Structure 1
C-alpha cells in the first residue's frame, strides 16, 4: 500500500465521500448523493473546527476510503481528552485490502499525537462484520448507545 496517501479531505472530495457513505443498506436510506449542498455546508463547519479531522485515503488520485476523527476534551477520566472515530467507509473495490486497518491505525496514531487517552467509536448494531473488524484491532465492546432524533 505504498501508493496510498492519507490526508485531510477537501471540498473536491465530498462527492466521493458521500458516495461511499451511501454505498450500503443503511447509508442508502439516509444519504442523498444527488444533492451535495448539505454535505458541503457540513464540510465548511468541519474544516473550521480544529478538533475535526475529516480524512481520506487516496490511491492513484482516487478517494478510496474515509473517516472522521473528532477530538473531545473532557473532565471525566481525570480530565482526559478522547477521540471519536465515525463515518468509516471503504470503497467497494478496496474492501478486504487492508485499507480499513490502515485508516484506523492512522486514527489511533493521530489520537495519540493529539494527546488523547481513549479512542472510541460506535457501530450500528446490525454491522456485525464491522464489529469483528474493530475487535480484531483491539477495540472492546463496552457501552450501550442511545440516540434521539431531533
Structure 2
C-alpha cells in the first residue's frame, strides 16, 4: 500500500520495516537539532495511521482519530511525535498505571515506530529519551515494553538502551459477547 502523508511524502506501508528484516540501510546523517519532539494532536491521525501500518497494524485515519480522541483525553496515556523537516517521522505512546506487584506506579511503552524513510537517524532514541524523561517527571522508575519475537534488530536496539528481557507475553483473542 503506497500512500502520501499530509506533507506529500510517499509512504510504502507494505514494505517490511528495516529493523524487522534486520537490514541496515544507508541513510544520510541527521543533525539532532533537526528532530523536534512534541505532544501528539488529533490532527496527527493520518500520519500516525500510516506509521501504524508500517508496524504491521492496518489502520485507517478515521480509526486513528477515534483512538486518539480516547487516548489523548486520558492522563494515564502520553503520545509524542517526532517531527523532521515539518513531517511526522515517528511516534511513541506510553501508559502509566498502578501495579499489583510494586508499591510505586509502573510505566509501559505501548508503541514506538519510526518511518521507514527516517530510520537509523536517532529518532527512536530521541523518542525513548523523551518518554523516559516524562516517566521520571511522573515518578515512574520502572518501564516495560513488548516487541515481537521476530524483531531481533529492535531487541538489540532496546538492549543498547539498557532494557533487559525478563519474561514472555502470551496473547489470546477472545470472542466478543453481546
The alignment's TM-score, normalised by the length of structure 1, stands at 0.89
Gapped regions of structure 2 (runs ≥ 5): 1-31
Give the match for residue 40 of structure 2. Answer: 9
Q: Does 1:31 align with 2:58?
A: yes
Question: Structure 1 stretches of 5 or more lacking a match?
Answer: none
The separation in 2 between residues aligned to 1:138 and 1:70, in whole angstroms, is 19
1:18 and 2:69 equivalent?
A: no
Which is greater in Rg? Answer: 2
What pairs with 1:70-149 in structure 2 (closer than 5 Å)?
A: 70-77=95-102, 79-149=103-173
Moved runs in structure 1, 4+ residues, more than 3 A?
A: none
- The higher-RCO structure (CA 8 Å, 6+ apart) is 2
Structural RMSD (CA): 1.3
**Greater helix share, structure number:** 1
Q: How high is the TM-score relative to the length of structure 2? A: 0.76
